[in-house]
């Protein structure tokens, strides 16, 4: 049953079919499969495969856009299911989250936000193309303990470094836990730029933040 849903989810993305992606996501939730699992084992492998095809010029931007739209339709459904899980939990802390300036990739960031919400964090999602100063402004407005920055391009990763430097220059570095992520981002990069943490995926982000927050 589970594997059938995963297979259907995978196919919906490869076929650029947003309606199907959405209905499979609902079907998965109704069948009681954890939303994170539906993403990890169904939808995400498909979009990653298409990313590789795009890189090899087997498909082009219009196809990638259609696939991303299908993926977003599924993420919308799964996001609300994930968030519901967290609503009854006591808040562990507040996170300001966004994709850095120059970067409009938001699927992974949205999943991270929803997963953190499900785990009991209050998440303020600033969206995409977020200028560095906006992260600090929002973190101060909301009393956040954590600033989380996503970057999917090797060019926009540099904005994560700018973010850490900006906080330092403002004398605010010690006030926040800075966590970075996104496909090209690595643990090495995180330590090189002086971020507090890195996580490979949404589930790891919860684990890493849980351990830092309790310190």
Range in contact with ligand B12 (rule: CB under 6 A) among 6-14, 53-61, 136-144, 162-170: 53-61
Smallest separation (angstroms) from ligand B12 to the CB of 79: 12
- CA separation, residue 67 to residues 17, 109, 133, 172 (Å): 8, 17, 32, 40
Range in contact with ligand B12 (rule: CB under 6 A) among 41-49, 78-86, 137-145, 162-170: 41-49
Q: Whose Cβ is closer to ligand B12: residue 1's or residue 9's?
A: 9
Is 54 in contact with 33 (CB distance < 8 Å)?
Answer: no
Among residues 26, 60, 80, 104, the one that binds ligand B12 under rule CB under 6 A: 104
Asked if residue 150 binds ligand B12 (CB under 6 A), the reply is: yes
Phi, psi at 94, each rounded to 5°: -115, 135
Smallest separation (angstroms) from ligand B12 to the CB of 214: 18
Q: What b/e string do you get for 159-170 counting C-beta neighbours within 10 Å, with b at 16 or more?
A: bbbbbbebbeee
Asked if residue 202 binds ligand B12 (CB under 6 A), the reply is: yes
Among residues 96, 100, 148, 177, the one that binds ligand B12 under rule CB under 6 A: 148
Q: Under the rule (CB under 6 A), what is the footprint of ligand B12? A: 44, 47-48, 50-51, 54-55, 61, 64-65, 68, 72, 102-109, 111-112, 148-150, 152-154, 179-184, 199, 201-202, 205
């Amino acid at each position: 049953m589970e594997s059938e849903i995963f297979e259907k989810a995978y196919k919906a993305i490869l076929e650029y079919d947003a309606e199907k992606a959405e209905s499979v996501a609902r079907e998965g939730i109704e069948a009681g499969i954890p939303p994170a699992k539906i993403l990890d084992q169904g939808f995400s492998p498909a979009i990653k495969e298409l990313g590789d095809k795009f890189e090899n010029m087997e498909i082009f931007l219009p196809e990638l856009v259609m696939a991303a739209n299908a993926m977003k339709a599924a993420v919308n459904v799964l996001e609300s299911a994930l968030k519901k899980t967290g609503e009854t939990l006591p808040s562990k802390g507040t996170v300001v989250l966004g994709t850095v300036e120059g970067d409009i990739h938001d699927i992974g960031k949205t999943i991270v936000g929803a997963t953190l919400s499900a785990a009991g964090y209050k998440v303020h999602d600033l969206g995409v193309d977020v200028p560095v100063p906006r992260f600090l402004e929002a973190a101060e407005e909301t009393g956040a303990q954590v600033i989380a920055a996503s970057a999917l391009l090797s060019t926009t990763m540099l904005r994560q470094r700018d973010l850490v430097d900006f906080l330092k220059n403002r004398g605010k570095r010690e006030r926040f836990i800075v966590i970075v992520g996104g496909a090209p981002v690595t643990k090495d990069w995180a330590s090189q730029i002086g971020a507090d943490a890195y996580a490979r995926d949404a589930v790891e982000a919860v684990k890493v933040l849980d351990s830092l927050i309790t310190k």
